[in-house]
Structure 1
Amino acid sequence: MTSRTRTVRSPRILYLAFFFPPSRSSGVYRARATAEHLAAAGWDVTVHTAPREFFTRYIGSVDPSLEQGVDERIKVRRPGMGYFRWERDIRRYGRFRANMPILANAGYNWTQRHFFPEHYASWIPHVIARALREHAHKRFDLVLATGNPFASFAAAYWFRKLTGVPYVLDYRDAWTFNQFTEEHKYPDGHPAWAWERRTLERSALTVFVNEGLRGWHAERYPAAAAQMDVVPNGWEPEILGRAAYPGPASGRPLRFGYLGTITEAMPLRVLFDAWRIARAHPELADATLELYGHLGFFKQSADPLLDQIPLREDLGVTYHGPLAKTDVGRAYHSLDALVFCVPGARYVTSGKVFEYMATGKPIVSVHSPDIAAVDVLTGHPLWFGVDRLDAQTVANSMVAAGKAARDLAEPDFAAALAHAERYTRENTLAPFEARLRALAGR
């Protein structure tokens, strides 16, 4: 009697993630973590991302260290795109644009109105053409598209129309809604509204980073509400490591720190005014404020932001510049308390808060008291929140956090780590992966 062993094919997913390493966009961490989690769970993962030269030449926003250690099983493809919106060197213009710039601009604007209303629209046909070739060779079971940009959503929509392969949408940010100002980005009748409705209503599943964004979209698009869910961000123990109890910070100056990209949208004036007030307190008289990270997402942002940091005042403020992802854990270890400074209101979570919690150290909030990140921080035993965003209130929290660092007890540290453990990437992505597997018919 003979038996035959049937080989079970791994589920195959096409992941449309425009921002992927070496990009250092804020959304790249969720994209990389998602791709790696799927590969580790046995998926055959193909990522479509932007051409490398878009990050290096056109926006100057790269972190080569983010490519190090990416799971070798992940196949990264870089379909082409046009650079009309970003090209400033007239020597690189095509003949048509160089000789008839007004007509070229008119043609570009027409495609924005009638094809897809986003500057990344030229990526869509390149993605679809390459995906169709790959699909013909070996079938995709599912498409996952993350935005922004939302050209990835349109590409997923068109690929489904052509092949029947279902797709899932991941809103890292809002498309038609400004979560920082809580205003609509587009006037009524703008084609972006129709495209958002079209892609949402045909999605097999749509996920958001917090409940506030899910609720806003469910209310505006009720026909798609049943397929909406929340997948929060998280942190990676394999990158940060798991923190060890550092003991009380006694007998030396306290070290406060901020890690993350510094942007114009952050309440920097409140942060530094609060620090000036806090330094007048005996507990923080010799404390330092260490800043790590890029200055903005684009190279032209750096100088104006650097001017806002009071480096020339005798305040103990130091800007160390950007860190490689592999050095982040050591920077956190060197600090006694963390300053969670972020812009926005009730629809903003931020990915950095999860790393901050994973240090087990005191966290000072420098943000609006009703942002979505508060939902994540609630219950953290070493969180020092604010009931209003002003310098005196934040300074009071800084002083309280400094005292907590001086008296840090191991049970409080352990409770902080237990709170953070709920938000490891494994814990936040495992239920999502199970739903994707069901949608892929696996």
Structure 2
Amino acid sequence: MTPRRRERPPRVLYLSFYFPPSRASGVYRARATANHLAAEGWDVTVLAAPLTFLHEAVGSVDEKLAETVDERIKIERPRLNQFIWQRDVRRFSRFRRAMPVAAQYIYRLGQRIFPEHYASWGWASVRRALRLHARRPFDVVLATGNPFASFAAAWLFHQTTRVPYVVDYRDSWTLDLFTDEPAFSEEHPVWAWERRVLRDASRAIFVNGALREWHAQRYPKVADRMMVVPNGWDQDLLQVPETNPRQPLPDGTARPLRFSYLGTVTNPQPVDELAEAFRLARQHPDLADAELNIFGHLGFFRGNDVSLLERLGLDPVTAEPASGVSYRGPVAKTDVATTYADSDVLVFMAGGSRYVTSGKIFEYMASGLPIVSVHAPGIAATEILRDYPLWFNAESLEPERIAQTMIAAGKMARDLTPESREAAMRHADKYTRQQVVAPLEAELRELAGVRRRVPQEGAGSS
């Protein structure tokens, strides 16, 4: 495609349901992508989740993260039918209160058209996008999933306007990442939707090679349009200190080693194995007084915290520390550097199987600290961690073997030199978000038919 000259900047419609102030795991990829496009001269419009959903249904947000979104980005929030998430009868519509069975039937009919609870947001996004497009045309559409109503919306918008679109699989739509099996029966309508979305997409993006390969085998006619754009770490949110001195206590003795997990804790993760492994590790004299600090939310929705606290060995009501394990609560994304600075060893706990990467590992590597893996052997994340010089991997979920890697990582933390830490941080430099998003920006620019702008003096990318 020959780039055409134009005076206006290229215009992109970004369908990203989870966008700041959401704290969903994929929001950092979305924020960084939008910021990078804006910094590269794009006119960016994001269609995102309504704030009422984030505050009332999800129940938590990160307002500080919202402050890091480039002010040039325009954010629209189309309507979402929150039928399935409503629990307070007093907030039901008059029709639903009067005819609950009929209301349920009508809602299920909508699910037959597109089998996802976020479908109403997808249709509302198309309506909003068409109005915006009539005023000032978009050049390309980028849609990220989940939810995958964003993919359907991009497809329908393309059918109406012929504007090219790109789908970004930051999660899998039809593959169960915890079983390595298809997530739906072969007769399920979701397969027809994925086929038509990929058939007409100009590009399909995946976070790792394993996911790209699975989809390429299932949809070979689209394989040449599939590419990998891994996750990365955000330099503007993580100012890593050059050194990490382990300050002694006032009496001159070394303070206890601090193991830290930072991220959302979810039920599919090997939480029980982590708790048991740490209990065993503390039986070693070097780790007798060690701490395991859990930073982050417990689950993505309200009500997940009780069972997860119990699995960590903590009181589900008081969450009082026990056997060296403490739940420290959520940390704003803008404050994570302080958490890393106060840690000695990072715990990478992940659920799922070989298709799982997790965006957290890039940030972990950028800290330059020893990393202990607590996950099933052979997940996609190991491809990234393999060359990280401070990685400790039991290659097993047996607590005894994990405990041994914790002991080894603890020794490394005590003996860590500035030179060793610098070498570890150099490995992470290739995964800065600016580095990994640049190829996607180039693909979008090609699809939009525009030349790359000449950077202005002093300009930069996020």
User: TM-score, normalized by length of structure 1?
Assistant: 0.96
CA contact (8 A) 1:249 1:336 kept: no
* Matching residue within 286, 289, 297 for 1:286: 289
By relative contact order (CA 8 Å, sep 6+), the higher-ranking structure is 2
Alignment partner of 1:207 is 2:215: no
Unaligned runs of 5+ in 2: 249-253, 315-319, 451-462
Aligned-residue offset at 1:431? 1.3
* Matching residue within 399, 412, 425 for 2:420: 412
CA distance in structure 2 between the aligned counterparts of 1:58 and 1:410, rounded to whole angstroms: 45
Query: Per the alignment, in what secondary structure is the counterpart of residue 237 of structure 2?
Result: helix
Match of residue 181 from structure 2: 183
Match of residue 328 from structure 1: 336
Match of residue 434 from structure 2: 426
Percentage identity across paired residues of the two chains: 55
Match of residue 196 from structure 1: 194
Match of residue 11 from structure 2: 12
CA distance in structure 1 between the aligned counterparts of 2:220 and 2:202, rounded to whole angstroms: 14
Match of residue 3 from structure 1: none
Structure 1: which 4+ aligned runs deviate by more than 6 Å?
none
Of the structure 1 ranges 16-25 and 238-247, higher mean CA displacement relative to structure 2 is found in: 238-247
Query: Per the alignment, in what secondary structure is the counterpart of residue 241 of structure 1?
Result: coil
Alignment partner of 1:258 is 2:285: no
* Matching residue within 169, 192, 199 for 2:167: 169
Alignment partner of 1:344 is 2:343: no
Aligned-residue offset at 1:74? 0.5
Structure 1 residues 390 and 370: CA distance shift in structure 2, 3 A = same
CA distance in structure 2 between the aligned counterparts of 1:122 and 1:313, rounded to whole angstroms: 43
* Matching residue within 263, 272, 275 for 2:275: 272
Aligned-residue offset at 1:313? 7.0
Query: Per the alignment, in what secondary structure is the counterpart of residue 81 of structure 1?
Result: coil
Of the structure 1 ranges 214-223 and 93-102, higher mean CA displacement relative to structure 2 is found in: 93-102
Query: Per the alignment, in what secondary structure is the counterpart of residue 339 of structure 1?
Result: strand
Match of residue 40 from structure 1: 39
Question: 1:16-95 alignment to 2 at 5 Å?
Answer: 16-95=15-94
Query: Per the alignment, in what secondary structure is the counterpart of residue 372 of structure 2?
Result: strand
Alignment partner of 1:388 is 2:396: yes
Alignment partner of 1:232 is 2:234: no
- After superposition, what is the alpha-carbon deviation per residue over 1:173-209, rounded to whole angstroms, capped at 9, x for unaligned? 1111111121222111111000001101110000011
Q: Which amino acid aligns with 1:302?
A: D
Aligned-residue offset at 1:422? 0.8
- After superposition, what is the alpha-carbon deviation per residue over 1:252-295, rounded to whole angstroms, capped at 9, x for unaligned? 32111110011111101110111011101111111111111011
- After superposition, what is the alpha-carbon deviation per residue over 1:61-98, rounded to whole angstroms, capped at 9, x for unaligned? 32222211211000000011211211222233233322
Unaligned runs of 5+ in 1: 1-5
CA contact (8 A) 2:233 2:363 kept: yes
Query: How many residues end up aligned between the 2 structures?
Result: 436
Query: Per the alignment, in what secondary structure is the counterpart of residue 76 of structure 1?
Result: strand
Aligned-residue offset at 1:433? 0.7
Q: Which amino acid aligns with 1:142?
A: V
CA contact (8 A) 2:125 2:153 kept: yes
Q: Which amino acid aligns with 1:178?
A: D
CA contact (8 A) 2:272 2:312 kept: no
CA distance in structure 2 between the aligned counterparts of 1:428 and 1:97, rounded to whole angstroms: 47
Alignment partner of 1:358 is 2:356: no
Alignment partner of 1:303 is 2:306: yes
Query: Per the alignment, in what secondary structure is the counterpart of residue 343 of structure 1?
Result: coil
Q: Which amino acid aligns with 2:298?
A: L
Q: Which amino acid aligns with 1:93?
A: F
- After superposition, what is the alpha-carbon deviation per residue over 1:136-170, rounded to whole angstroms, capped at 9, x for unaligned? 11110000000000000000000001001000000
CA contact (8 A) 1:248 1:409 kept: no
Aligned-residue offset at 1:59? 2.3
Structure 1 residues 281 and 163: CA distance shift in structure 2, 3 A = same
Of the structure 1 ranges 306-315 and 193-202, higher mean CA displacement relative to structure 2 is found in: 306-315
* Matching residue within 115, 124, 127 for 2:125: 127
